[in-house]
Amino acid sequence: MIVGTAVPYYLESGVGGDVVLMLHGLGGGHQSFAGQMPAVVEAGFRAGSWDMPGYGYSRTVVPYTFESLSQACLDLVEVIDATRLILVGHGLGGMVAQEVVARWPDRVHGLVLVATSAAFDRPDARWRRDFIAARTTPLDAGASVADLAADLVQTMVGRNTPAETIAAARATMSAVPVASYRHALGALLDFERRAALTKIRIPTLLIAGAQDPIAPPRVLEEMAAAIHGAYFLSIENCGHLVNQEQPDAFNRVLGAYLKQHFRVT
């Protein structure tokens, strides 16, 4: 039984039936795609950016699982009433997007996966332990998510990321409630959708940050190889927060994808 599936909050801009719905990552919020909203609208689409359940203005879900999160996303899609729906998911949001496509393949018409993976796993088991420990150990000692953000954001971005971009990402992450952050971390541990990649039959683009230590380019490239007709791009001079670190380059890539696959009438 899923409790708390009130429609999540989302910020919307533009008009039209084709919607690009953007799903943020673990330390994000609807603000994470502020640099993409105008570009999507200028391309002729309606742009939406949600607060994942438990984040920002959105009520949480119980249990906090990918089943619950994907159902919340579908509930939002019903309200948005899109003619065609293109999901853009970053990090954890990319996993939610994969879950939605796996459960309701007929509801999604395009998919853009950014700095994400098909499973929270690596051949090196130590990486997984270190990732979780770096986040839960300080929380167990009484730290806030804002305390985590002060150090973690710097480790996620590229070497030459502007200070103002880092500050904005820290501010967004700092607003995440501790309980929601813990729940999201717990959900990550069970995510596994590698087998579902071969069943995706919609236009799919995978984007990596060339300096991303969390979802390295090879991870996205391997995912693209498993998805029929998918293609992969790596954006230089950025780390995990690809769309925030290099918004102009990201918007060009996203715009080209939209123009190629979705004619706006």
What is the tens place of the pLDDT at every residue in 48-93?
999 999 999 999 999 999 999 999 999 999 999 899 999 999 999 9
Residue 164's CB is within 10 A of a number of other CB atoms, namely 8
Is 182 inside a domain boundary? yes
Low-confidence ranges of the chain (pLDDT < 70): 1-5, 123, 265
Report yes or no on 4 lying in a domain: no
What is the spatial distance between Cα 265 and Cα 257, in angstroms, rounded to a whole number?
16
Q: What is the per-residue pLDDT for 129? A: 85
Contact present, 243 and 169 (Cβ < 8 Å): no
The per-residue pLDDT for 140 is: 94
Does residue 3 lie within any of the structural domains? no
**Residue 78 resides in a domain:** yes
**Is residue 15 one of the residues assigned to a domain?**
yes
Q: How far is the C-alpha of 115 from the C-alpha of 101, rounded, in Å?
A: 17
CATH number of the domain residue 189 falls in: 3.40.50.1820
**pLDDT score, position 6:** 74
Q: Residue 1: inside a domain, yes or no?
A: no
What is the pLDDT at residue 264? 74
- Domains of the chain: total: 1
Quick check: is 178 in a domain?
yes
DSSP state of 31: G
The helix, strand and coil proportions of the chain, stated in percent and rounded to the nearest 5, come to 50, 15, 35
Give the chain's mean pLDDT.
94
Q: Is residue 2 part of a domain?
A: no
> Which range of residues forms the domain containing residue 62?
10-261
